[in-house]
Amino acid sequence: MDIRRDPVTQSWVVTGYRENLAEPGGVCPLCSSLAGQPPASLSGPEQGPGQVRVIPHTDPIYRAESGLERKAEGIYDKMARAGAHEIIVETPQHDRPMSRFSDEEIEQVLWAAAQRIAELKKDPRFKYVTVFKNQGLLAGEEWPHAHSQLTATTFVPRRVKYELRSARQWFQEKDRCVFCDIVRQEEKSGQRIVDVQGEYYALCPYASRVPYEIWVLHRRHNHAFEHPRPGAKRRNLAALLGRTLRRLEKFAPAFHMVIHTAPNSLSRKGEMAGYWKTLADDYHWHIEILPIVQPRSLSYGIKEVYVNPVLPEQAAEFLRGLDATS
């Protein structure tokens, strides 16, 4: 298995990794009753249905023990699998999706993600920490047991790099954060807002890539998800996420969810050199949710141009009309 760089787009691509999908009916490696569990890098509270544990991935793409060396192959560039790959086991209960969690339990998952991102960012080798959740077979979920995954990589993933570049450019031109500008315009028009809780918004982005795409943002500026602003009530974010997932569950069999936070500003070499000076002002953490409602959405990652049959304004109206309480 290699991580290779496409010299044309400069994207890093993991090649030769076969996802170790659970055998149907096999033993669930995320059930904590299983003997020989690897020690958790984080766990809390002590016990109960709201317990969240963070454990190493059973078949990691990235490994802490891999060297950092990059190797040239003629004009090409590849690197070792250095990094970290962990699983956030969101509940000890095998068959309870996140949409059924209490607000407090979702807040606990957000807390665990933030703790691990902050911890892994102490290592200057890691340029980026990603937390994502694939729920449902169509989204490529590895186990049915509620979980998220966390990867720390020695490169910044392509989509985030694009966002960082655009956010920096927007800031250079207007002296404002693009995400703050989005929130201001959306709260004024209200058309694409799905739900609000405290200072958190769930909205269908103006140029949604897939039907019913949702972004969750805090209306106050902050670049790093793992360091909440003083007074940022994460319980509100948890409540909003819970309601959003309950809406989605009514019609979408699967979804991808990813936390986009700032890259590691301890790492100021190479591709990161230009970002960090205005990073805290120009970038704004957010959560992206990409539901899968039809087979053709599956190809969203490889499309050159996204073709979305549902207008985001109509999507938001539809989503607002769904019962988010059950």
Q: Which of residues 33-92 bind Zn ion (CB under 5 A)?
A: none
CA-wise closest residue to 181 among 79, 104, 284: 284
**From the list 221, 233, 268, 320, which residue makes contact with Zn ion (rule: CB under 5 A)?**
221
User: For residue 42, which of 130, 125, 119, 154 has the smallest C-alpha distance?
Assistant: 119
- Whichever of 81 and 101 has its CB closer to Zn ion, that residue is 101
Q: Which is nearer to Zn ion, 53 or 81 (CB)?
A: 53
Among 14, 22, 31, 311, binds Zn ion (CB under 5 A): 31
Contact set for Zn ion, span 122-141 (CB under 5 A): none
Query: Is residue 118 at the binding interface for Zn ion, with CB under 5 A as the rule?
Result: no
Separation of alpha carbons 168 and 16, rounded Å: 34
When binding is defined by CB under 5 A, the residue of 3, 30, 80, 203 that contacts Zn ion is 30
Rounded CA separation 98/108 (Å): 11
Integer Cα distance of 99 and 172 in angstroms? 40
Contact call for residue 180 and Zn ion (CB under 5 A): yes
Which one of 18-26, 83-91, 218-226, 292-300 is the stretch in contact with Zn ion (CB under 5 A)? 218-226
| Terminal alpha carbon distance of the chain | 44
Q: Is 120 in the site for Zn ion (CB under 5 A)?
A: no
Q: How far is CA 4 from CA 19, 124, 271, 304, in A?
A: 18, 21, 16, 21
As measured in angstroms, the least distance from the Cβ of 221 to Zn ion is 4
For residues 14 and 79, give the distance between their C-alpha atoms in angstroms, rounded to a whole number. 10
CB of 64 to Zn ion, least distance (A): 25
User: In angstroms, rounded to a whole number, what is the distance separating the alpha carbons of residues 53 and 91?
Assistant: 8
Question: Any contact of residue 22 with Zn ion (CB under 5 A)?
Answer: no
Q: Which of residues 84-103 bind Zn ion (CB under 5 A)?
A: 94
* Smallest distance from Zn ion to CB 278, Å: 12
Binding positions for Zn ion, rule: CB under 5 A: 28, 30-31, 94, 145, 177, 179-180, 221, 260, 284
